[in-house]
Amino acid sequence: MKQKILEHLPKTDCQMCGMTCADFAAFLLSGDLTPQECPVLQEDAYATQREALAEILASLAARAKSGHLIDPDKCSGCGICLIVCEYNAANDPESRQGKGPYSTAKVVLRIVNGRVMLADETLCTRLLQAADKCTKCQDHCPTQAIVLV
């Protein structure tokens, strides 16, 4: 995603914002900066890039606090993410056995109508562990339906 954002930046590395375009892209991705903070991007010559960037960032606005950006169109409903989820595995016996959790189970991820969804993102270890953030659901997703930003 960072690379996709970078493609729409001027890529001049002018450092008028105090950093390189790649660093600026990372801050756009995290939501810590906005495109308006890039002086070069405000020039008329970059109007098309600004519009494309606005679309990308609008889609990122839907990301969860835990950083999960789930594309339901890419999800095959395989459930691998449920099994590898650190919280699910530690707290849900069904997930630990490689099965999907019961509908009443308190879990981070679950499959609903054949697609993964965040059941309770507040349980995600990404929110609980500031250092060494878990990326297992993203790393094991065979269709790249889960992106952590």
pLDDT tens string 64-106: 778 888 888 899 999 999 999 999 999 999 988 888 888 889 9
First and final CA of the chain: distance in angstroms? 8
Q: Is the pLDDT of residue 130 over 70?
A: no
Strand partners for 146: 70
pLDDT tens, 6-64?
999 999 999 999 999 999 998 888 778 899 999 999 999 999 999 999 988 887 766 67
What's the pLDDT at 148?
85
Q: Does domain 1-61 have CATH number 1.10.15.40?
A: yes
- Record the pTM: 0.63
Cβ density class 108-137: b for 16+ within 10 Å, e for less: bbbbeeebbebbeeebbbbbeeeeeebebb
31 within 8 A of 83, measured Cβ to Cβ: no
| Average pLDDT for 120-128 | 87
Query: Who wins on pLDDT, 83 or 149?
Result: 83
Fold of 68-148: Alpha-Beta Plaits (3.30.70)
What's the pLDDT at 127?
83
What's the pLDDT at 67?
82
What is residue 144's DSSP assignment?
-
Domain ranges of the chain: 1-61, 68-148
